Structures are given as C-alpha cells and as structure tokens.
Amino acid sequence: MNLRQRFRVIQLGMLLAGLVITPPVLAQSHLDINQVAANIFPQPPEVEEPPANQLHQRRVARFNIEQNIDAWVFNRFGNEGKAREHLENQIRLSMDALDRECGLSEEQSQKLWLAGQGDMARFFHEVDEIRREFRGQQDQNKINQVWQRLQPLQMKMQSGLFGRDSIFRKVAETTLNEEQTRQQREDQARRAEFAYRASVKIVVAQIESSSPLRARQREQLVELLEQTRPPKMFGPQVHYYVLWQFSKSQDQIAKFLDEAQLEALRPMINQGGAMQQFLKQGGYLD
C-alpha cells in the first residue's frame, strides 16, 4: 500500500469516526459550542433580555407580526383600547394623589391632564410607527428586529408612562408652586421608601434560595440594604438594583455571614456587580 492509499484509508477512518462519534455525543451533550465557550470563559450575565422575554422571542416565529404587536405591548390589558383606559385612569389617580397632598387648582389640573395625554400620545405614536414599519413582514430577521424595537415599549408599559422622564412629571415640577413641590417630594419619598423596603425584603427572600440565613443574619441584611439609596425609578428590574446594592455591600455582609454562605452567594454577588451599566441604561442609576 503506497502513501496515497494509506492516506485515503486514514481519511476514510476519520470520516467514519466523525460520523459515528458526533451524533451520539451531541445528543448526550447538555451544552452546545456556545455554551462550552461560555463555560470556559465566563462572560457577565446577559441581563438585557430576561428569560420570559427570551421565551417570547422563541415563540415569535410562530406568530404573524401585525396581529401580535398589540399582544406583545398590551398583553396585560388585552387590547389597545383597554390599555388607553388603564393609562387614563393612572393619570387621574396620580392627579388625585397630587390634589390630596398639595391641593391642585383647576388650571394646574388641566395642565397635568394634558401632559399625561402627551405621554400617552408619544407612546402610542411609537407603537404605530412600528406597526407601519413592519406591516405584512414575515421575514425572520424582521421578526427579531420588531421584538427588539418593542421591548423598550413593553418595559415602559410595565414601569409606567408617567415616571421620572415623563412630560407629566416635568409639567408637575414646573406647574406646582414651591410649597406644593415640597409636599409632592415628601409624598414621593415616602412612597419610594415603602416600595424599596418591599423590594429589599423580596430580594433577601430570593437570596436565601442560594444560602439560607439565620434570623439574626436576615435582620442584619435587610437593615443594611434598607439603608442604601433607593433607585431613581421603580420598574420591572428594580430587584437587580437591590442585587447590585447587595454586591456593593459585600465587605459589610462578610461581617455577619460565614465563609460557606459567602461562597454559596458568590455567583449572585458577581451577577449583581455586573449590573451597573444595565441599571444606568434602564434609568435606575445616574
């Protein structure tokens, strides 16, 4: 057998080995190549797309874009009409709260109502633009694009249209007099404190999923996190803000948790530490 023939035999052997080995190994393997790479060189956690949304993304292919834009954005309410009704109620409830705290004049009420309507108009205009742009599209790449475009709108819908950067809030700041502004800020601070305390407690309860705490340790952790500054806004990712605070406080936490607990919590601490940029983008941090 000459060298060429030997090479052919070796080549055939390799081909057969590849055919025999690859399918069963791939079938048994829990990880794909990307996961292998991710395991070997761990990257910061991908936090921009929560698991629920990834699930949604996978389902996209089965849906018609046009018919489902409404479902993606207004799924909490059923349809656009109900969403509008809900948002108008929220404007009225926010105005009621301001009126209770500071006593609004007729003119102030009208300005605030119009400002709230402005926020709504801006939001629905963005949804309409996406509808127009993607009308009739079936292409998979376009489907992925529409999801990326809708995601911020869905987040906005979840965190509320009348928050920190809204026209409503800006008009409230310029329309209210000094005393009214003071009262409104006090009311907001109390509300934020209430919401933050709830977020801290629920995050501590989640942290215990990785490492159970003794009663005293739990008290200390809650106390420590409650003393941290609340986020700039309360939205669907606020628990990541608390996790970030948890990660920042690890030196103090190390004083009352033992080594095994800290080791068990290490992945969570690392995850929290990698959140800063994400939280800035989401408006939770300056």
Partner 1 sequence: MRIFTPPTWPKQALVLAMLFTATFALAGRAVGQDLFIVEEPVQQEARAADEADEAQEEEATGEDIPQEVIEDAAKAPEANLARAVGEAVANVLNLLAPRRSVRVIPAARAEPVLDLADDEDFDELDDQTKQLIKQFQPQYEHICREELRFVHAVCHLKRSQFQKLEEAARLTMRQALIGTAEVQAQMQRGWNGPQPPKYPDVRKWLEDALLSAVKRECSADQAALYEDELQARRDFRREACIELIAASLDRELVMTPRQREQILEVLGEAWRKDWQQSTHLLISGNNYFPVLPDGKIQKLLNARQSSHFNGLQKGANHFAGHPWGIFGVPHQGHRGGPLEEELEFAPEEDAP
Shorter beta-carbon distance to partner 1: residue 147 or 234: 234
Per DSSP, 209 falls in state: T
Under rule CB under 8 A, residue 50 binds partner 1: yes
Rounded to whole angstroms, the Cα distance separating 150 from 126 reads: 9
| Binders in 100-139 for partner 1, by CB under 8 A | 100
Site string (19-48) toward partner 1, x via CB under 8 A: x-xx--xx-xxxxxx-xx--xxxx--x---
CB-side neighbour CA atoms (13 Å) of 160: 18
Specify whether the CB–CB gap between 65 and 132 falls below 8 A: no
Shorter beta-carbon distance to partner 1: residue 96 or 133: 96
Rounded to whole angstroms, the Cα distance separating 42 from 267 reads: 11
Would you give the distance in Å from CA 65 to the centre of its chain? Answer: 23
Rounded to whole angstroms, the Cα distance separating 88 from 113 reads: 9
Rounded to whole angstroms, the Cα distance separating 160 from 147 reads: 19
The window from 12-20, 103-111, 122-130, 140-148 that contacts partner 1 (CB under 8 A) reads 12-20
Shorter beta-carbon distance to partner 1: residue 143 or 272: 272
| Binders in 155-214 for partner 1, by CB under 8 A | 158-160, 190-191, 194-195, 197-199, 201-202, 204-214
Rounded to whole angstroms, the Cα distance separating 253 from 225 reads: 10
Under rule CB under 8 A, residue 236 binds partner 1: yes
Under rule CB under 8 A, residue 55 binds partner 1: no
Under rule CB under 8 A, residue 243 binds partner 1: yes
Indicate which single residue of 239, 254, 277, 280 sits in contact with partner 1 (rule: CB under 8 A). 239
